[in-house]
A = this chain, B = another copy of it.
Amino acid sequence: MARAPRLGPYICGIDAALDVVSGKWKGLILWELDAHGVRRFAELRRGLPGVSEKMLTQHLREMETDGLVHREVYAEVPPRVEYSLTEHGRTLNRALAPLGAWGVERIRREGHETVDAAEPSHL
């Protein structure tokens, strides 16, 4: 099953925003889709080293429900499904930019380990 419909009320805007980006891969999914415009399931999977099929599917479904991601299914054999960001997804991604910059600073400051992405860098 997916995420339960969030029981209590939100306390503030941060709370409401964090609710839709919390999840191990959601920030990265947002980044991938924003960078490439459109991605198929398998492409997305390759872009997120270590993600399981289950988690990728689950996160994509939740983000679809939250109005961040658009899912386009083509009735072909073999099946093809393309994911892209909605306008809300794009604005969220822009709102996340300063946070990402802060995070990069934190990594640099504390000398955390990072992964080497095949594509140049998300940093």
A: which residues have CB within 8 A of B? Answer: 8-18, 20-22, 27-28, 30-31, 50, 88, 91-92, 94-107, 112-115, 117, 122-123
Contacts and interface: CB of A to CB of B under 8 A. Distances in A.
B12 A103 contact: yes
B99 A10 contact: no
Most buried by B among A99, A100, A112: A99
Q: How many copies does the complex hold?
A: 2
A87 B20 CA distance: 27
Contact of A100 (B17, B50, B91, B102): B17
Contacts of A102: 13, 17, 91-92, 95
Given A12-B28, A12-B122, A27-B14, A99 B100 contact: no
A117 to B, nearest CB: 8
A98 B100 contact: no
B98 A11 contact: no
B16 A103 contact: yes
Contacts of A21: 14, 18
A38 to B, nearest CB: 20
